[in-house]
Structures are given as structure tokens and as C-alpha cells.
């Protein structure tokens, strides 16, 4: 598959994905932790409610965990995530003066933070060349025949070999939108897809 054509079509479909607007690192980190096993249309309203009440690590630490639970109760595993939010906030205050670190190694030391979350924060909050692979990116990359991988970590490594580094931080947003709107896990809308003529439709 021609990578330049693929990126051109995806950007034509979702031009907003190319906008490098600033996202607060703390909001980016916490909302991404909240998004685990939760749809975006549930995660972001819940994260917005939470940050309207508690918007800094200091405020999160001082909050009663039950208040956090109530604000984020729509997300999956909200009790576990409420505890993680407070623990992350405490560690940020203790180790990083309340700031979110801008490197992979430090982010991975935070509870509930894996490579996908860390890469999302680096790409969207710090505009670094990071490539975040979630279930959408993993599934669609295999379906398009870009990779043949079993796990998201493998997919990340293989995609970095295929795409120019300048495109890495956009891939997650583009493929997630494609996966939500068209290339769905079940009953993908192939006939109306902008990639229909270049997609090998692997694993359909």
C-alpha cells in the first residue's frame, strides 16, 4: 500500500486530526487513563466533569476519592480509576513538582499508564513524534495489510518502520476516527470507505 496515498486520504477525511492544538498534559494523562475499556463519547464528558471540579494534581490529591468516583462513574472500572487518578496525582507532586513528565520512561512508572497512554500524552500534549497504538489502530493496521502482528506493542514497532516519523503522532487520531466511523470491528462500511479501492480487506 502506498503510505503517501493512505495519509493523504485520511487527512482529507479528518482534517481536524492535523491540527496541533495544545492539550493540557494533566488533562491528557488523566483522560487517557480514564479511557481504558471505555468509549470516547463516555470518557471525555466524564473527564470534563472531573476537571471542572478538580483540575490540578493538588486538587485531585485533596479530594475525597468518593467525589472523584461520582464524577467519573460513567467510565468502566471507575472505582479503580479514581484511586489511580489520586495515586498518579500524588506521584506527580512528589517526583515532578506537579508536572506531567514528557518522556516515556517516567510516564510508564505511573500507575495505570502503559505504552498506549504514554504515547498519547507525548503526541497530543507535548507534540512529540510518538505513535500510540490502541485496539482501533492495531485492528485496522492488520486489516489494511500494513502489518501482521498479534499485539499492540508489535504493531507500534512495525508501524514505525513503515510511516515517516513526522506522521507518527497523527496515526492514532486518524485510524481511531476511521475505526469509529467506517472500519468498525463488526460490519465495517467498506462500500462507503475512502480506502475501499486500496484496502485488501484482510481479516474481515
Residue 190 is classified by DSSP as G
Residue 204 is predicted with a pLDDT of 59
116 is catalytic: yes
Q: Consult the annotation and say whether 120 binds a ligand.
A: no
Question: Which residue in the list 116, 160, 167, 201 is annotated as catalytic?
Answer: 116
Scanning the structure block, which residue is given the C-alpha cell 485496522? 140
Short-list 59, 65, 70, CA closest to 83:
65
| Category of 112 on φ-ψ map: left (φ > 0), alpha (ψ -120 to 50) or beta | left
Question: Which residue in the list 2, 41, 73, 134 is annotated as catalytic?
Answer: 134
The Cα diameter of the chain in Å comes to 55
Q: Are 74 and 100 in contact (CB under 8 A)?
A: no
* pTM, to two decimals: 0.91
Per-residue pLDDT of the chain (204 residues; tens, 9 = 90+): 899 999 999 999 999 988 877 789 999 999 999 999 898 899 999 999 999 999 999 999 999 999 999 999 999 999 999 999 999 999 999 999 999 999 999 999 999 999 999 999 999 999 999 999 998 899 999 999 999 999 999 999 999 999 999 999 999 999 999 998 999 999 999 999 999 999 997 765
Q: In the chain, how many H helices and how many E strands?
A: 11, 0
CATH numbers and ranges of domains, the chain: 3-18+131-192 (1.10.1670.10), 25-124 (1.10.340.30)
Amino acid at each position: 500500500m502506498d503510505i503517501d496515498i493512505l495519509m493523504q486520504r485520511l487527512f482529507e477525511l479528518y482534517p481536524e486530526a492535523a491540527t496541533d492544538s495544545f492539550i493540557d498534559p494533566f488533562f491528557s494523562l488523566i483522560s487517557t487513563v480514564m479511557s481504558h475499556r471505555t468509549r470516547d463519547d463516555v470518557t471525555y464528558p466524564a473527564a470534563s466533569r472531573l476537571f471542572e471540579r478538580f483540575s490540578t494534581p493538588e486538587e485531585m490529591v485533596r479530594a475525597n476519592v468518593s467525589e472523584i468516583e461520582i464524577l467519573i462513574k460513567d467510565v468502566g472500572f471507575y472505582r479503580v480509576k479514581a484511586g489511580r487518578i489520586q495515586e498518579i496525582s500524588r506521584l506527580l507532586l512528589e517526583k515532578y513538582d506537579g508536572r506531567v513528565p514528557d518522556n516515556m520512561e517516567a510516564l510508564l512508572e505511573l500507575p495505570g499508564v502503559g505504552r498506549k497512554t504514554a504515547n498519547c500524552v507525548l503526541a497530543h500534549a507535548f507534540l512529540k513524534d510518538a505513535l500510540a497504538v490502541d485496539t482501533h489502530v492495531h485492528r485496522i493496521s492488520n486489516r489494511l495489510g500494513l502489518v501482521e502482528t498479534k499485539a499492540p506493542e508489535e504493531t507500534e514497532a512495525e508501524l514505525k518502520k513503515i510511516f515517516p516519523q513526522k506522521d507518527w503522532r497523527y496515526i492514532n487520531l486518524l485510524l481511531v476516527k476511521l475505526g469509529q466511523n467506517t472500519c468498525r470491528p463488526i460490519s465495517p462500511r467498506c462500500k462507503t470507505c475512502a480506502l475501499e479501492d486500496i484496502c485488501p480487506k484482510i481479516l474481515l
